[in-house]
Amino acid sequence: MSINYVQFHIGDFLSGTMSMNTAEIGGYMMMITAHYNAGEKGLLDDEEKLRTITKCDRKTWNKIKDTILAKFYLENGYWKHKRVMDEIEKIKSKAGPGRPQVHKKNDDLGNTKSVKKCTTSESQLKNKSLKNNDSQKTNQKPITNNQDIKEKNTKKRKDEQTENDFEIFWSEYPNTATGGKGAKTEARTKFKKLITKGVKANDIIEGARRYRNYCEATDTYNKHAATFLNPDKQFWSEDWTANPRQASPTPNRKTSYMDELAMGTAGAYEALCGQESDFH
């Protein structure tokens, strides 16, 4: 059985040839491929024919033959390689019964070579099968590595856009009385979840701007950003228009606490007694 295609295990080949020089590796590779071509019978124990397989001159062959043949074993006048024989057996077992008939002939090296003999009916069946497969492939939506890469790139662009939108939101959101905005990581997580659920980033950003203007106009202590992004409350969708009656004047920061207390005490005295207080 002639083998025209095998899996090449790079790691195994490298580990098995690490101690060999260039000429030895080249000759070894040529003998392995010739073995696959010859099939399970192996390579005839004819030194001149073996040298011809390796494409070496006699001087080089005499130097490398012991190293190469050490990787083969001689059986009934033919050199065989254990890994090659194992692979051939695997291929034969997969083929199973009912394989097309073959006839054998000798090649230039004196080895037996199998040649497939196809009948007209077999050829027609094969062509029909190929046409059916082509038709099925045409009707199916192909799934390729390019599509996977395209989907990954699309997701990456969406994630980058979401991150950029969040940074805009964060810059627009007002600071709290302590000068912060709350935990940024928590706010980012909630922002991304809202985008995933279909909330538009621009709506959230515009809502943050309205809320900032409201806080500045009413001198209100604002919420943490993560609280503002609560999906149940949806603070970003509110109008946040500052009502003039709600706006409180900015207190005179130069007035001392004791002055304000005195003013409050005086007002209370006048309200109770109906007389002007000496606290003024």
pLDDT along the chain (280 residues), means of 10: 78 90 94 90 92 93 94 94 90 68 48 50 65 60 72 89 92 78 89 93 92 86 87 90 52 44 47 48
Q: What is the pLDDT of residue 1?
A: 65
Q: 198 and 268: one domain?
A: no
Q: 162 and 259: one domain?
A: no
Q: 156 and 115: one domain?
A: no
The β-bridge partners of 78 are 44, 75
| 132 assigned to some structural domain | no
Q: What is the pLDDT of residue 148?
A: 83
Q: 245 and 265: one domain?
A: no
Q: What is the pLDDT of residue 90?
A: 87
| 259 assigned to some structural domain | yes
Q: 39 and 94: one domain?
A: yes
Q: What is the pLDDT of residue 215?
A: 86
| 49 assigned to some structural domain | yes
What Å distances lie between residue 223 and 86, 189, 192, 199, 204, CA to CA? 73, 17, 19, 20, 15
Q: 14 and 117: one domain?
A: yes
Which residue among 61, 87, 121 closes a domain? 121
Q: What is the pLDDT of residue 94?
A: 79
| 137 assigned to some structural domain | no
Which residue among 87, 121, 155 closes a domain? 121
Q: What is the pLDDT of residue 253?
A: 40
Residues 6+ positions from 5 with CB-CB distance below 8 Å:
none
Q: 234 and 275: one domain?
A: no
Find the DSSP H helices in the chain.
Answer: 10-17, 22-38, 47-54, 58-69, 82-95, 120-139, 145-172, 184-196, 201-218, 225-228, 257-273
Q: What is the pLDDT of residue 252?
A: 42
Q: 111 and 199: one domain?
A: no
Number of domains in the chain: 3
Q: 100 and 178: one domain?
A: no
Q: What is the pLDDT of residue 178?
A: 67
Q: 16 and 107: one domain?
A: yes
| 204 assigned to some structural domain | yes
Q: 14 and 116: one domain?
A: yes
| 196 assigned to some structural domain | yes
| 138 assigned to some structural domain | no
Q: What is the pLDDT of residue 102?
A: 45
Domain that holds residue 272: 253-280
Q: 168 and 262: one domain?
A: no
| 32 assigned to some structural domain | yes
